[in-house]
Amino acid sequence: MRSPSTEPSAHKTNLIRDYLEHVNSQPAPPRRWPREVWVKYADKLEDFKDGNNNREALLCLNEMVTDALSHGLDCLQYMASLQDPANLRFCAIPQITALGTLAMCYNNVEVFRGSVRLRKGLTAKILDVKTMPDVYGAFSDFTGLLCDKIGFVLVTLPYTMSQMGFAWGSAASVLYGLIGSWCVYLLVWLYLEFKSRVDLQGKVRPENYIVQYHEVIGELTGRGGRKITYFYIILTLFMASIICVVAS
């Protein structure tokens, strides 16, 4: 018998995957997407079928998927406690299938056009699961797919802009351009001020010497500013590396 610990994940996954089937059913089925979630993005649940509402539809979908994923740890802990391999396999296959389906559904507008299903090759691979290491491996594969999708959304600015709609996307692009231009202006001004001070002090630097940000700030603000800037550069590079790893 399947544990209550694993039931919510499978139930929510089926609810997410079968959106179109549910909204087109007459009479409406008793189990539908929770109103407290979709009402934040649309007046009616059926509005997500409209291609003009893709942005709101995907935001709602991603919130639903994120909520369903919150049961993953409970599922793993329960399955790890099972001693009988047959019981483990009985519980594991639906849960891995649910996770794979959630990974396929995340940020996927096809949920609102038809039903999203796992490919036959993935399904066959899931059916080969027999032990907990197999379960961990399958969970790792599908969470990796989710990370790829999340990373894609994070680091592809044009895609993100397209989800905002033409007006908001255009406004955000102009804003980013203005901020970027202002930053370039400040950097050029700081460098020129730094160069003039160095020239006045008569300091000689090697030919083709590349000036670093922390040197410029340090010259203008003192050692404290140099250290803060140096730390900021390291932190920025570290965060950029994390984003690249997530997106890769």
Residues ≥6 apart with Cβ < 8 Å to 20: 49, 111, 112, 113, 114, 115
- pLDDT recorded at residue 248: 58
Element (H, E) at 46: none
**CB 20 within 8 Å of CB 114:** yes
- pLDDT recorded at residue 1: 44
Predicted confidence (pLDDT) per residue in 172-214, tens digit: 778 888 998 988 888 888 888 888 887 777 777 777 777 777 7
Domain assignment present for 167:
no
- pLDDT recorded at residue 157: 58
Domain assignment present for 69:
yes
Read off the CATH number of the domain in which 77 is found.
1.10.600.10
Angle between helices 132-155 and 72-80 (to 10 degrees): 170
Distance CA(187)–CA(175), nearest Å, equals 18
CA distances from 114 to 14, 27, 127, 163 (A): 13, 19, 25, 20
**pLDDT grade, residue 224 (50/70/90)?**
confident
Domain assignment present for 67:
yes
Same structural domain, 84 and 136: yes
Same structural domain, 62 and 144: yes
Same structural domain, 185 and 240: yes
Same structural domain, 122 and 195: no
**pLDDT grade, residue 156 (50/70/90)?**
low
Domain assignment present for 1:
no
Please, what is the Cα angle at 31 between 34 and 69, to 5 degrees?
55
Joined together, the tokens standing for residue 187 give 């950097």
User: Which residue, 121, 155, 189, sits at the end of a domain?
Assistant: 155
**CB 205 within 8 Å of CB 197:** no
Helix, strand or coil for residue 225? Answer: helix
Domain assignment present for 214:
yes
As a whole number, mean pLDDT of residues 122-141 equals 87
- pLDDT recorded at residue 212: 75
- pLDDT recorded at residue 17: 87
Please, what is the Cα angle at 34 between 28 and 37, to 5 degrees?
135
Same structural domain, 32 and 80: yes
- pLDDT recorded at residue 152: 65
Domain count within the chain: 2
Task: Tell me the pLDDT of the chain averaged across its residues.
Answer: 81
- Eight-state DSSP code of residue 192: H
Domain assignment present for 166:
no
**Residue ranges making up the domain that contains 221:** 177-247
User: Which residue, 97, 123, 155, sits at the end of a domain?
Assistant: 155
| DSSP conformation letters of 88-114 | HHHHHHHHHHHHHHHHHHTT-GGGGTS
* Percent of the chain clearing pLDDT 70 (strictly above): 86
Domain assignment present for 160:
no
Q: Highest-confidence range of 25-34, 87-96, 159-168, by mean pLDDT? A: 87-96
Compute the half-sphere exposure of residue 115: CA atoms within 13 Å on the CB side of its CA: 11
As a whole number, mean pLDDT of residues 106-121 equals 84
Which of the residue ranges 125-139, 142-156, 226-240 would you say has the lowest mean pLDDT? Answer: 142-156
- pLDDT recorded at residue 8: 65
State pTM to two decimals. 0.62
- pLDDT recorded at residue 221: 78
- pLDDT recorded at residue 158: 59
Domain assignment present for 162:
no
Which of the residue ranges 24-28, 44-48, 62-66, 151-155 would you say has the lowest mean pLDDT? Answer: 151-155
Same structural domain, 22 and 92: yes
